[in-house]
Amino acid sequence: MTYQQDGNLTTRIQQIANCFFNFNKDIIDSVKDIAPAVKPQMAFYEMYGWAGVLAYQKTVEYAKSKEMLVIGDAKRGDIGNTAQAYAKGHLGKVDIGNGEEAPIFDVDFLTVSPYLGDDTLQPFIDECIKNNKGIFVLAKTSNFGSGYIQDKVDQEGKTIYETVAEYVAQQAERLKIKTGYSPIGAVVGATYPEQALKLRNIMPNNIILVPGYGAQGATAKDVTNSFDKDGLGAIVNSSRGIIYAHKKRYPNGDCTREQYKEEVRKATEDMKKDITQALEKEDKGYNKLDRDR
């Protein structure tokens, strides 16, 4: 029996997906006034099929209704008209017949993979411009094996992650962005602070999405390298550190919903304080580079 053929199974999966959405509402309600953005990870919804994707859509909608920015973490990448399909679905509008179009996921930012080539990033960039959205291109990811491809050094002595960062930086010129940040940013794992410093230098006007803080082991000091000379330009993400925050005080999860939400909010405040203090104490990445010049 499969998903569709077994009504009982379909109902169970819909119930699970609905729990995800309710859970997310509590997280969003707990942090909406102290965090600028949420980054739902598409994999954990997609793994439950269409019902999971519905919960993802409802989560995005809910977060936006609370005036949070939404970063869709999907790491999509494909070629030609297929890349365009992902770009339109996540960032733009799709054809619904009779010459009409409708937004589908409508996230503010999407993470994308550069492996298939620079030509495959263009459809995403086009949709960013058209719909006032942004993307974060994977440059140096936070996992221990990220060097397998990303650290390869080409014959000019340049790593793949530097090549990607240069591409990201160049888009600001191509898009004639004179002031402020480019809508084309990059993902740089906090677990690689030295590489982050190099990458901040290559991308002075790009927003860097920084995963790896907390559960993955990176500290507040590690993330400072991704900030720019104004102490801005980086979005530090914590997922497990926030959504499992209650496990510190309630290791067996025996807390009320309100107690859970309190721990989530507290962990978010602690994270902000931790990073703010580190930014005051440490030189920002850009300043360190300035000093070395």
Interface region with a copy of itself, contact rule CB under 8 A, candidates 113-121, 173-181, 221-229, 283-291: 113-121
**Sequence-distant (≥ 6) Cβ neighbours of residue 224 within 8 angstroms:** 275, 278, 279, 282, 283, 284, 285
Least separation in angstroms between residue 61's CB and a copy of itself is 6
* 129 binding a copy of itself? (CB under 8 A): no
Q: Which of 24, 120, 201, 226 binds a copy of itself (CB under 8 A)?
A: 120
| 8 A C-beta contact, residue 245 and residue 271 | no
Interface region with a copy of itself, contact rule CB under 8 A, candidates 27-35, 57-65, 194-202, 285-293: 57-65
- In the block, residue with structure tokens 């993470």: 111
Query: Residue 185 forms beta bridges with which residues?
Result: 136
Least separation in angstroms between residue 4's CB and a copy of itself is 6
**Residue at 117: amino acid letter:** G
Interface region with a copy of itself, contact rule CB under 8 A, candidates 28-36, 143-151, 243-251, 252-260: 143-151
Q: Where are the alpha helices (DSSP H) in 32-121?
A: 42-46, 49-65, 80-91
User: What would the 3-class secondary structure string for 90-115 be?
Assistant: HHCEEECCCCCEEECCCCCEEEECCC
Active site residues: 75
Name the token pair of 131: 């719909």
Residue 222's nearest CA partner among 278, 146, 287 is 278
* 117 binding a copy of itself? (CB under 8 A): yes
Backbone dihedral angles phi then psi of residue 175, each to the nearest 5 degrees: -85, 5
Q: Which of 96, 129, 174, 277 binds a copy of itself (CB under 8 A)?
A: 96
Interface region with a copy of itself, contact rule CB under 8 A, candidates 159-167, 200-208, 241-249, 261-269: 159-167
Least separation in angstroms between residue 285's CB and a copy of itself is 23
Least separation in angstroms between residue 225's CB and a copy of itself is 20
Please state, in angstroms and rounded to a whole number, the distance separating the CA atoms of residues 40 and 32.
14
* 133 binding a copy of itself? (CB under 8 A): no
| Interaction site with a copy of itself (CB under 8 A) | 2-5, 9, 12-13, 16, 41, 43-44, 46-54, 57-58, 61, 75-80, 82-83, 85-86, 88-89, 94, 96-97, 102-106, 113-120, 138, 141-150, 152-155, 160, 163-164
